[in-house]
Amino acid sequence: MNREQLKETVLRILGSIAPDVDLAAVEPDVEFRDQFDFDSMDFLNFAIGLHKELKIDIPEIDYPKLGALNGCLAYLEQALARRSP
């Protein structure tokens, strides 16, 4: 999965949890919580959605790395690379 495909996946999951979000306007380096109404339950559902879709484990200690789009993409790229044979 390349970075653009990963970005599309992340935004799709984000949109399923926060349907009022304008996904085209997401600022890549700004925390999701600072951009729109994204509470701790939404964030947990986001992490679970990433886990289910990408088949990777995301330890709770790593949740802060998922807080903004660019950080999330970097973390997921590394996690997917570690998983690949």
- Helix, strand, or coil here: 2? coil
For domain 3-83, is the CATH number 1.10.1200.10?
yes
How many residues can be counted in the chain? 85
- pTM across the whole model: 0.91
Residue-range domain boundaries for the chain: 3-83
Burial bucket for residue 61 (CB in 10 Å: 0-12, 13-18, 19+) = exposed
Q: pLDDT (tens digit, 9 = 90+) per residue, 14-62? A: 999 999 999 999 999 999 999 988 899 999 999 999 999 999 999 999 9
**Cβ-based burial of 13 (10 A; exposed 0-12, middle 13-18, buried ≥19):** buried
